[in-house]
Every structure is written in C-alpha cells, then in structure tokens.
Amino acid sequence: MAKIYPESIVLDAYNFREMNSLNDTEPVNYKSLLLKLNVQTLYRPLSDSFSGMCLKRGDKKFILINSNHSRGRQHFTMAHEFYHLFIQEDFTPHCCNPGQASESPVERLADAFSSCFLMPEMGIKKMMPANELREKNVSIATLLKLEHYFSVSHLALLTRLRGLGLISASEYDHYSKIPIKRTASEYGYDLSLYEKGNEGVVIGDYGVRARGLFDKGKISESHYWELMEAIGVDLTAEINEQE
C-alpha cells in the first residue's frame, strides 16, 4: 500500500516552498536557499550512522551535514533539518539519520516534509511522460531524469513515487536493487549525485562575522585564526603562499 503523508506535512512543505519563492514544480537550489535563510552550514566527514544535526538559538541557525554521504542524500538531510528548524514546535537539538527507519514520530514527519519539499507532487507529474503517468508504469529513463532534476538520491525518489502511488511495491523492490551508478552512467548521466562530496564546504557568513569581530578589536588575532581554523581555513598557510 502506498504511504500517505499527513495533509499537514504536505501543506507545510508547500507553504515553505512558497515562502521561499519556489513554485510547485521547480527544483531547489540548495546552497542559494541556505544563504537566503541565513543558515550557517558546515559539511564534515562523519560516521555513516550520523547524517546531520541542527541547532538554533534565537534567530541563529546551524546545520551540520555528513560529507561522506552522497550528495543526493545530503540534500535530503538538509531539507529534513529545515523541518526541525522552521516547522517543528518545541525544537530540541539532536542527531539525525534521515531516510532510515525511525520510531520517532518527529523524525518520520521530518522525513515526510523533506520528501514533499524536495519532490513536489505536481513537479513529478509534469516531468513524467503522459503515458507513464496514466498507466503508472515508470521507466528507468524517467526515474533517472527525475532524480537528477530534483537532485535527490535514487531511494529517496523511489520512496516518494511509492508514496504517491505512482509505482507499486514490486516496482519499488525491483528498482531499489539495480546498480544505480552503473545504470546512470549507461544513460549518460553525471555520477556526482551518487558520490560523496562537499567536504570542508562552509555556507553562510561565519567568516564575515569572525573578520568583523577582529576588525572591531573585539577578538585577538590568534582568536580570529582559531575561529577560521575551526571551519578548515588555515590562514598561516595562505600567508606563507603569498610570501
């Protein structure tokens, strides 16, 4: 049986897209959205069971994402954390592993939100050939097109299609077992979506704020260097290269 998401979650995802000037068909520009929302985001290599976490204090928000996971999975983690930061009431910091079986109702809601936000129903249906949509017979070519259009993992897309009733349980099982990287390569797609990446990437104005504190004399030079080293910026090495 296809999984039906709570109507409130579907509406939350729609409203969050609308609030961020996204229509009901277009893909999310992940890094631009993080900058727009002013969410300080760090990508670091972590253990496989740790997808990410988020923190907030007042209007300050932070996300940590596992750069050892595939880029598609990283995107799902980001949207999962958006639920905790912007939708969930009574937020409490914790570690997350989106997309994995969870007994926590809040984590399941965050997964559902991520799925609906990243892969809006209308966007999926408009991208599908009319005959496949009508007959609910999705081809591998369409699957690859959809996951690359929305920049999500293969399993995340299959889960969304199953939730919408566009593929059957047997089709889900079949497509979840195919060697997706080899198949995507055979169809001419770039494989970076299925590979890890973004290690050391920092999104946000962390560096700007640190520099501002130093320029205003509120922190010492050594403290400023320590703050930059915390996000992987080695000022000593850069100075040596310039000399």
Does the structure show a pLDDT above 90 at 71?
Answer: yes
Q: Pick from 117, 51, 108: which is nearest to 82 by CA?
A: 117
Q: Which residue has the higher pLDDT, 18 or 1?
A: 18
Beta-carbon count within 10 A of 70 CB: 21
Q: Which domain holds residue 237?
A: 206-242
Mean pLDDT, the chain, whole residue set: 87
Of the residues 194, 214, 233, the one at which a domain ends: 194
Whether residue 145 is found in the same domain as residue 54: yes
Query: Do 120 and 220 sit in the same domain of this protein?
Result: no
Q: Is 44 a member of any domain?
A: yes
User: Is residue 1 in some structural domain?
Assistant: no
Specify whether 147 is located in the same domain as 178.
Answer: yes
Instruction: Clarify whether residues 174 and 236 are in a common domain.
Output: no
- Based on DSSP, count helices (H) and strands (E) in the chain, helices before strands: 13, 5
Note whether 157 and 45 are same-domain residues: yes
**Is 201 within a domain?**
no
Are residues 125 and 222 both part of a single domain? no
Integer Cα distance of 213 and 178 in angstroms:
52
Query: What is the rounded distance in angstroms from the CA atom of residue 219 to the CA atom of residue 239?
Result: 20
Residue 199 lies in a domain: no
The answer to the question of residue 38 being in a domain is yes
Question: Phi and psi of 129, rounded to 5°?
Answer: -60, 145
Phi, psi of 146 (to 5 degrees): -65, -45
Q: What is the spatial distance between Cα 103 and Cα 63, in angstroms, rounded to a whole number? A: 23
Confidence of residue 239 (pLDDT cuts 50, 70, 90): very low
Domain total for the chain? 2
- For residue 185 the two structure tokens come to 């390569």
pLDDT tens, residue by residue, 17-55: 999 999 999 999 999 999 999 999 999 999 998 999 999
Sign of CA dihedral 27, 110, 40, 151: negative
* Residue 80 CB contacts under 8 Å (≥ 6 apart), including other chains: 51, 52, 96, 98, 110, 111, 113, 114
Distance CA 218, CA 204 (A): 21
Q: Say yes or no: 190 and 235 in one domain.
A: no
- Looking at the structure, tell me whether residues 182 and 210 fall in a common domain: no
| Shared domain check, 78 and 35 | yes
Q: Give a yes or no: residue 200 inside a domain.
A: no
Any domain includes 124: yes
Sheet holding 60-66, edge to edge: 95-96, 52-57, 60-66, 39-44, 202-203
Q: Are residues 185 and 232 in the same domain?
A: no
19 in a structural domain: yes
pLDDT band at residue 158 under the 50/70/90 scheme: very high
Q: What tokens appear for 123 in the block?
A: 């966007």
Contacts of 201 (CB under 8 A, 6+ apart): 41, 42, 43, 67
Burial 129-156 (b: 16+ CB within 10 A, else e): eeeebeeeebeeebbbbbbbbbbbbbbb
Confidence of residue 66 (pLDDT cuts 50, 70, 90): very high
Q: 218 and 124 share a domain?
A: no
Predicted local distance difference test score (pLDDT) of residue 3 = 58
Query: Are 225 and 130 part of one and the same domain?
Result: no
